Amino acid sequence: MAATQLVNPDLVKERQNAAFSPEHLTYFLYGGPEKTKRKRFLQNLVIEGVKKLGVKQYATVSREEQYEQALQKYAYLVDTERQLGITNSTDKALLHEAVFPCESFPYILQYAAFINPFTMLASEEQKAKWLPLMKNFRLVGTYAQTEMGHGSFLRGLETTATYDPSTQEFVLHSPTISSIKYWPAGLGKTANACIVMAQLITKGHNYGMHAFLLQIRDLDTHQPLSGITVGDIGSKFGLSANDNGFLKMDNVRIPRNNMLMRHSRVLPDGTYIEPKNDRLMYGGMTSIRTDVVGVASRRLCIAVTIAIRYSAVRRQSEIEPGAGEVQVLDFQTQQYRLFPQLAAAYATTFASTTISAFYRTVSPHIERGDLQELPMLHALSAGLKAYTSWTCADGVEVCRLACGGHGYSEASGLPKAYVDTTAACTYEGENYVLILQTARYLMKCCRMLAEGEQVPEVMDFLRPSTSETSRLDARLVMGDLIQAFAHRAARMTRDAAQSMQTSIVKGENPGQAWNSNSVQLVAAAKAFTELHVVRVFAEAVETMRGSLRHVMESLWRLFAVNNIVSSLGDFLVDGYLSTQQVSLLEPAQRDLLKELRPDAVSLVDALDFPDGVLDSALGRWDGQVYEALYDYSLRSKLNEKQVLDAYLKHQRPFMESQWKKHAASAVTSRL
């Protein structure tokens, strides 16, 4: 950060008062001083680079301009990556974050959901033919699975791919309006190709969902090919720079070899060859979901940085009458709103690091066909995707509301952060659908334990415990708090399993029983996921030392206590916590708020977001918020003319018609 900036004195004071070194925490987060230095170099480089492109601030331009600027920025990003020879995913993520801060862009699926699934689904021959075109942007693509009428239930998709042996072609077709492909990112205007998921029909038999490579636009003119109707789906809550699209296929013929044939195949005569193992496809989805955990967590980190810095600068109302207006961060209610979000930001950061590491460990095993860890990885990544996208979206919105009126302005950067985060509750697997997959795994582990089988170590909390009451006392020992989350998750899981059993005994079939207990199952899976997050946050804290350990342990404790207090019934209902133990928690929560107050600004400084990523008048490092807000306002498009055409066209004639009709007296131009 530039040392020469004039920094708001309240922020200067906050930074002087911290009891720990934020720089050390930054090193912890980014993997040491060297990697931190590299992070800063990379992010600052592209932030400056983007400025030189002459693009305007996202919030100040129309959607069409946002789209155009995203194309421009992406070209710059890829050039920069290639010039610097950047290939590792950490560096790439940091560059993306700095070029597209809480913004989507049309090419977002080029790797994640075009090249990657293609690589997993295509034969060696197909890869040799098409991968170079994809990697060098001759083909710009996306993944066309969801349809207007169909989302996460794959078997419900209506698009058909009917094999015609006479020409050795597949005929891709959208038979109904509800079968139109809808939502794929970049599909509307940008992509010239896509992977289409369709019901494969050959020799009169439907073999279910398969993947096909479809060219949709001419590679030179970019005009849609014959039989293809394609376009942008229109304005959305967010993701505005992305041309999420629709695609209607009217008996479009593609060569047989455009079916991706690594796992299953159709021979020239139309004979269908089955895949050896279709579980191999899970890996890719799991990878995207672990990415979503990271993205959601970063958004909350951004929002909490903005809200806490602004709350240190903003002065509003008095605590003692006549003693002057105080920093709003001194209000207990403001701390109560923001500090749990700060704790959640760190908690989900560690959850993200841990699940990514787990994925990197397990995915080579899966690649070589060892699927032992896949169910656990799948359950955990699904649960974490749902839990973190919910937690972070809610948290971003709490931060926005805590910034009062100015939080509602796009100048704050918070609306943009929210719409981007809440989208993650729906895309890549709707959260209820996903968390119920986690619940399914919990039920499976219950059954395994009941039958005396081994479960992964992480699931050991499900074993019957000797203690049905907590040892928690005023010290709020970490282990005792963790044990409370473990006890709750185990009890809720067992209760859900018991209810399932009862439903089945009553005569419901397994599908009905699942549905009629799904609220309980969701609750159990959330409790399990929260236990996991509480644990990994604790494990990270336990590796820290000194003053850093001290402040982070308090933050962890706030996370734990806050989550217990907000679901207090869960812990009281079976008597695990006593009334007396519970009476310790709310005062402890308030004491933790007070204790964390002096370190709050440094705790967000340590997250180390440059101003270019925050993109916020309120969250600036230097705290010069009103100057920035005013500057933002001056750039409003409505201010381009002093008297708008709309005034002459609509306002003036209306006003005249009223005052002339009603014989208003004064017609002077000055009162």
Site for a second copy in 434-473 (CB under 8 A): 436
Window 241 to 300, contacts with a second copy (CB under 8 A):
243, 246, 258
Window of 17-25, 26-34, 96-104, 230-238 that interacts with a second copy by CB under 8 A:
230-238
385 token code pair: 């995707």
2 in contact with a second copy (CB under 8 A) = no
Give the CA distances from residue 182 to residues 201, 379, 466, 618, in Å, rounded to whole numbers and listed in that order: 22, 27, 52, 36
- Catalytic member of 103, 158, 397, 428: 428
532 token code pair: 């996991």
Window 345 to 384, contacts with a second copy (CB under 8 A):
none
Please give the torsion angle defined by the CA atoms of residues 284, 288, 290 and 296, in that order, rounded to the nearest 10 degrees.
-170
Among 178, 251, 271, 501, binds a second copy (CB under 8 A): 178
213 in contact with a second copy (CB under 8 A) = yes
Q: Which residue has the tokens 């400025």?
A: 51
H/E/C letters for each residue in 140-153?
A: CEEEECCECCECCC
Contacting residues for 72 by C-beta, under 8 A, at least 6 apart: 53, 55
Residue 392 beta carbon to a second copy: minimum distance, rounded to whole angstroms: 14
388 in Cβ contact with 352 (< 8 Å): yes
180 in contact with a second copy (CB under 8 A) = yes
Among 35, 38, 92, 189, binds a second copy (CB under 8 A): 189
Among 183, 346, 359, 556, binds a second copy (CB under 8 A): 183
652 in contact with a second copy (CB under 8 A) = yes
Residues β-bridged to residue 293: none
- Nearer to a second copy (CB atom), residue 514 or residue 609: 514
Residue 163 beta carbon to a second copy: minimum distance, rounded to whole angstroms: 18
Closest among 487, 464, 462, 458 to 581, alpha carbons compared: 487
- Nearer to a second copy (CB atom), residue 248 or residue 535: 248
650 in contact with a second copy (CB under 8 A) = yes
70 in Cβ contact with 241 (< 8 Å): yes
- Nearer to a second copy (CB atom), residue 22 or residue 106: 106
Please give the torsion angle defined by the CA atoms of residues 401, 403, 408 and 410, in that order, rounded to the nearest 10 degrees.
-130
318 in contact with a second copy (CB under 8 A) = yes
669 in contact with a second copy (CB under 8 A) = yes
Q: What is the amino acid identity at position 200?
A: L
Window 322 to 341, contacts with a second copy (CB under 8 A):
323, 325, 330-333, 336-337
**CA triplet 136, 142, 143: central angle to 5 degrees?**
135
Helix (H) or strand (E) holding 98: helix 89-99
426 in contact with a second copy (CB under 8 A) = yes
Residue 606 beta carbon to a second copy: minimum distance, rounded to whole angstroms: 26
Window 552 to 581, contacts with a second copy (CB under 8 A):
565, 567-575, 579
Among 140, 296, 443, 600, binds a second copy (CB under 8 A): 140
Taking the C-alpha atoms of residue 339 and residue 407, their distance in angstroms, rounded to an integer, is 17
Size of the residue set binding a second copy (CB under 8 A): 163
Q: Helix, strand, or coil here: 543?
A: coil
Closest among 336, 388, 380, 332 to 355, alpha carbons compared: 380
Residue 179 beta carbon to a second copy: minimum distance, rounded to whole angstroms: 9
156 in Cβ contact with 198 (< 8 Å): no
Residue 223 beta carbon to a second copy: minimum distance, rounded to whole angstroms: 6
Report the length, in residues, of the chain: 671
- Nearer to a second copy (CB atom), residue 279 or residue 660: 660
Tell me whether residue 508 is one of the annotated catalytic residues. no
Binding-site residue set for FAD: 146
320 in contact with a second copy (CB under 8 A) = yes
Phi, psi of 609 (to 5 degrees): -90, 125
Tell me which DSSP letter residue 280 carries: G
**CA triplet 382, 392, 373: central angle to 5 degrees?**
20
220 in contact with a second copy (CB under 8 A) = yes
Residue 563 beta carbon to a second copy: minimum distance, rounded to whole angstroms: 12
Give the CA distances from residue 266 to residues 258, 274, 631, in Å, rounded to whole numbers and listed in that order: 11, 9, 62
Residue 536 beta carbon to a second copy: minimum distance, rounded to whole angstroms: 26
Window 156 to 175, contacts with a second copy (CB under 8 A):
156
Among 52, 205, 545, 670, binds a second copy (CB under 8 A): 670
Among 90, 146, 168, 353, binds a second copy (CB under 8 A): 146
432 in contact with a second copy (CB under 8 A) = yes
Window 387 to 406, contacts with a second copy (CB under 8 A):
397, 400-401, 404-405
DSSP-derived secondary structure for 524-572: HHHHHHHHHHHHHHHHHHHT--HHHHHHHHHHHHHHHHHHHHHTHHHHH
Among 223, 251, 469, 501, binds a second copy (CB under 8 A): 223
Taking the C-alpha atoms of residue 84 and residue 105, their distance in angstroms, rounded to an integer, is 21
- Nearer to a second copy (CB atom), residue 41 or residue 432: 432
> How far does the chain reach from its first CA to its final CA, in angstroms?
51
Return left, alpha or beta for 181; rule: phi > 0 is left, psi -120 to 50 is alpha, else beta. beta
Q: CA neighbours within 13 Å on the CB side: how many for 262?
A: 17
Q: CA neighbours within 13 Å on the CB side: how many for 69?
A: 23
- Nearer to a second copy (CB atom), residue 157 or residue 552: 157
Taking the C-alpha atoms of residue 562 and residue 123, their distance in angstroms, rounded to an integer, is 51
Among 39, 150, 385, 620, binds a second copy (CB under 8 A): 150
- Nearer to a second copy (CB atom), residue 292 or residue 376: 292
Window 488 to 527, contacts with a second copy (CB under 8 A):
509, 511-512, 514-520, 522
Residue 153 beta carbon to a second copy: minimum distance, rounded to whole angstroms: 4
- Nearer to a second copy (CB atom), residue 417 or residue 548: 417
Residue 323 beta carbon to a second copy: minimum distance, rounded to whole angstroms: 8
Contacting residues for 372 by C-beta, under 8 A, at least 6 apart: 365
Q: Helix, strand, or coil here: 228?
A: strand
Among 13, 268, 546, 659, binds a second copy (CB under 8 A): 659
- Nearer to a second copy (CB atom), residue 155 or residue 276: 155
Residue 469 beta carbon to a second copy: minimum distance, rounded to whole angstroms: 14
Window 32 to 91, contacts with a second copy (CB under 8 A):
59-60, 62-64, 67-68, 71-72, 74-75, 78-79
**CA triplet 442, 444, 449: central angle to 5 degrees?**
95
Active site residues: 428
